[in-house]
Structure formats: structure tokens, C-alpha cells
Amino acid sequence: MQKRSKVFLIITGGLLLLALVACAVTVGGKEKYNFGGRTITYSAWWELRPDPGASVEMERQARRVAEVEKKYNVKINYVNIPWGEYLARYITTVMAGDSMGDIVNVEANWFYPTLLLNNFCTNLSELGVFDFTAEKFQRETVEFGTYRGGVYAYDVGRLYPRGVLYWNKSMFAREGLPDLYELFFNYKWTWEKMLEFAKALTKDIDGDGIIDQWGIGGAAQRLERAFVISNNAHYIDVSDKDNPKFALTHPNAIEALQAHQDFILKHQVVSMTPEGAPWDYNVQSFIEGKLGMLVGQIWKIDQIKEDMKDEYGIVLFPMGPKAKEYASELTGHLVRTMPITVKNPKEVAIVEDAITEPHPDEDPDDWREYYELRVTDEESIATVELLWDKQLSVFNLQWAFGIDDVFYTIEHEVMTGNKAPTAAVEEYAQEAQMRINDSLRF
């Protein structure tokens, strides 16, 4: 934060260039722009260039790019920068008064706090181009990218869902349990119900004294995180973006950690990943029909669809006692931003706004095909729609401040029973907050 003013000095001259947007003339009551053959670059760590032969969506996008290039007299360029070099390249180019791209895709936990709080991003609201209330913009990312009244990051299209709860419909039927969708869509899906079902599902089927079928499990640390997010709690509270707080000390978070510990140790209904097993051990257990409920991310659906013989469904993690709505943990999400050193940023905004407009020949329900190919019922798709309609995705910035080791240590202490949640959190809270504060000093 101490170097914020220094970076701003680099930028001041760039902002003055807003008045120098290339020639615009009025034709038939509308402004017609000519950007003089300027190259506008999009950057990511994957191939962004649309391939017309890959899909109908790609063909539309390639056509749109060609139309925009002609309309504004620009050239659209794409650069692919390795993930491991990406954030450093963004920072060093801005510090040098340049930029690695005009529209830059970044991970959410790169954008905040590092890029946003150190003044590396353009205030897009000030450009007078984007209408961030338009349907094409993701409401979740616009809200996340808003800082002191300005919007600095966004994305377009429907947000790709992340945290979900898969349930084995065949196993539920065999065990005589209710249809989970009935509870979920009627807002009766709670931690208490999940525990009831997990107890009924956890069994020693062959009588050898070893549990063969477990009630619930998570891929990596996702079960604990689901408990926290679903009880109106957070790992880091960023409601005040200038003053992020270590949030596991909040009573809602402590209650969630205690529930997680109780499910494991007191009720013994959680499938734990054995020492040395792969991080997705429980994903494979679910696929093999040994796990009734799996806390995971929706991108695993391809593997589940391909390999699982039982029928499965998708809901969200149940509500904790302090929640009035379902919540889905959002990690690994991307946003688009514009480096503060981009020259004539209004030109870039005009082009980006045009490129991201809905296509005239696009069916509003085109999105359904992706899910229809991967799920076994309409209710799973309705779950995704509910997540979108009610904005249930919650940004988890647990990795954004360089204290992920603290969170992993607390989780280990809690799930092994080495410490009660309150004791584990209190032991590391001061250190965690100090490191969060230090991370803000670029």
C-alpha cells in the first residue's frame, strides 16, 4: 500500500489520454469510430483465439471478432502467457509503464488484493462505456470487482458453478431414504438432515467390522470449507476491501468447524482420505458406489458421468443454523481487468463491449446443452439455475493473502481432534491477521 502513490504517478498521464480517443464522427445520429488500425490484445494462460471449426459458439465468436475489427478499424490479438509467470508479468509491465495486454484475464485471488489495492487496474466505470447492470455481465464478478464505487473487474456470460454436493440417487433409494430434491427445493435441506442421512448410509455391509459404505466425504479440504461457507461465515472477511479480516474467529465459523469435527469424530460418518492417497480419493469412492454424498466441484462431472454406474444428482451443501440461504463455495474463478497503464482505455472498452454483446442468432437456452450432456436429471440443471438466479456463489479468498498454511494447520488440528475449534483458531488468529496486513504492503 505504501507504493500506491508511486504507481499512480505512472498512470496519471495515461488517464489524460482519455481525451484523445481516436476520431469519432456522427453518422445518422450514431457515433462511428475509427481507431486507426490499433492492435487490442487479450491475454490469458490458455488459447483464447476462437477456432471457428471447434463449435457453434466458437464460430459465432470468430465472426464477431471479424466484424468488430472491421467496424472499429482494429486488430484483435491474443497472447498466451504461462500461468507461473502471469501475475509477475502483469506487475512488472505495469511498473515499467506498459501492459501485457489490454484486456487481461486474472485469477480472482490475484486481482484482489494485489492488483486492486496497489492501483494496477483501471476504473472501468469512469470510461463511460460499460453498463454493468446489463444482463451480459456476471453480477457476482461485478460486485466482487467493485471498489470505492468503481468497477475494476468483471466477467460476462453465466458464471461457471463450482461447489456442489453430488448424491448417489441409487444408494438413497436402496437405503429407503427420501428424495433429496424434495428437501432441497423446499428449503428443508439442513446440516441436521445431512447428518441423519449420513448415519443411515454409513454401514459395514459385509459384517467384517470395517465400514464399506460411507455417508459423506469431500475431495481434498472441500467438506470443511462447505461447512464454513454454508453457515454464513468466511475464512477471510472482505466486506471492507481496504481492511480484510481473518474471519474464522467469528461464532458462525467456530460453529461450522465444530460441526465438521463432530461429523468426523463424534458421529463417524465421514470418509477420510487415507495417508498417501490421491486428493480425489473420495471422488473415486463416490464413483464406485461406496460414498452416498460427495462435496466437490462441478468440473468433476465429466469423470463421474463417464465412470459411474449408479444414478447421481446434484444439489448444494445444506444450510447451517445461521444461514437463511444456500451457498456455493467459489474458488478458482477468473475475472477480466484492464491494466492501469493501457493507452486510450476508452477505445479498448468500446471494442470489448462490442465483442461481448449477445449474438443475434444465439438461443438463450444454449447453455443447457453443456449440462444435459453431463447430468442424469432435470433437477440437477435446476440446481444450477437456482445458484445463478439467487447469486449463491461465495468467493472464498483463502489463498489470496499467503496464509493458506495457517488454514491447513487449523483444519488438521480440528479434523484429527488434536484441538477443539476455538482453541485451534485462537492459537493462529493473531499471526494470520498480521500476515494478512503484511500482504497488503506491496
Strand partners, 137: 156
What whole-number percentage of the chain has pLDDT above 70?
A: 93
What average pLDDT does this structure show over 265-269? 97
DSSP string across 164-233: EEEEEHHHHHHTTPPPHHHHHHTT--BHHHHHHHHHHH-B-SSSSSS--BEEEEESTTHHHHHHHHTTT-
| Among candidate residues 256, 237, 213, the one with its CA nearest the CA of residue 411 | 256
For the record, the C-alpha cell of 191 comes out as 446440516
- Say if residues 304 and 166 touch (Cβ distance below 8 Å): yes
| Domain 4-159+332-358 identical in fold to domain 163-330+377-439 | yes
Query: Over 50: is that where the pLDDT of 435 sits?
Result: yes
pLDDT of residue 185: 98
Domain boundaries, the chain: 4-159+332-358, 163-330+377-439
52 SS3 class: coil
Q: Architecture of domain 163-330+377-439 in CATH?
A: 3-Layer(aba) Sandwich (3.40)
pLDDT of residue 89: 98
Strand partners, 214: 291
What are the start-end ranges of the H helices in 360-418?
368-372, 378-389, 404-416
C-alpha to C-alpha distance for 153 and 138, rounded to whole angstroms? 10
- Top-tier CATH class for 4-159+332-358: alpha beta
- Say if residues 360 and 178 touch (Cβ distance below 8 Å): no
What whole-number percentage of the chain has pLDDT above 90?
A: 81
Q: Which helix (H) or strand (E) holds 395?
A: strand 393-395
| pLDDT tens digits for range 57-110 | 899 999 999 999 999 999 999 999 999 999 999 999 999 999 999 999 999 999
Residue 7: pLDDT band with limits 50, 70, 90: very low
- Say if residues 257 and 224 touch (Cβ distance below 8 Å): yes
Alpha-carbon Rg for the chain, nearest whole angstrom, is 24
Length of the chain equals 442
At 263, which amino acid appears?
Answer: F
pLDDT of residue 279: 86
Query: Over 90: is that where the pLDDT of 22 sits?
Result: no
Q: Cα–Cα distances in Å, from 119 out to 9, 111, 153, 337, 416?
A: 10, 10, 12, 12, 42
For the record, the C-alpha cell of 223 comes out as 467438506
What average pLDDT does this structure show over 312-317? 97
For the record, the C-alpha cell of 57 comes out as 459458439
Query: Over 70: is that where the pLDDT of 18 sits?
Result: no
C-alpha to C-alpha distance for 246 and 401, rounded to whole angstroms? 10
Query: Over 90: is that where the pLDDT of 220 sits?
Result: no
Rounded to two decimals, what is the model's pTM?
0.90
Phi, then psi, of 129 in degrees rounded to 5 = -115, -55
Q: Cα–Cα distances in Å, from 246 out to 327, 395, 403?
A: 20, 15, 10
Which burial class, exposed, middle or buried, applies to 90 when counting CB atoms under 10 A from its CB (0-12, 13-18, 19+)?
buried
- Say if residues 345 and 127 touch (Cβ distance below 8 Å): yes
| pLDDT tens digits for range 371-423 | 898 898 999 999 999 999 999 999 999 999 999 999 999 999 999 999 999 99
CA terminus-to-terminus distance, the chain: 6
Q: Which helix (H) or strand (E) holds 65?
A: helix 56-72
At 58, which amino acid appears?
Answer: M
Residue 32: pLDDT band with limits 50, 70, 90: confident
At 249, which amino acid appears?
Answer: T
| pLDDT tens digits for range 247-260 | 999 999 999 999 99
pLDDT of residue 29: 53
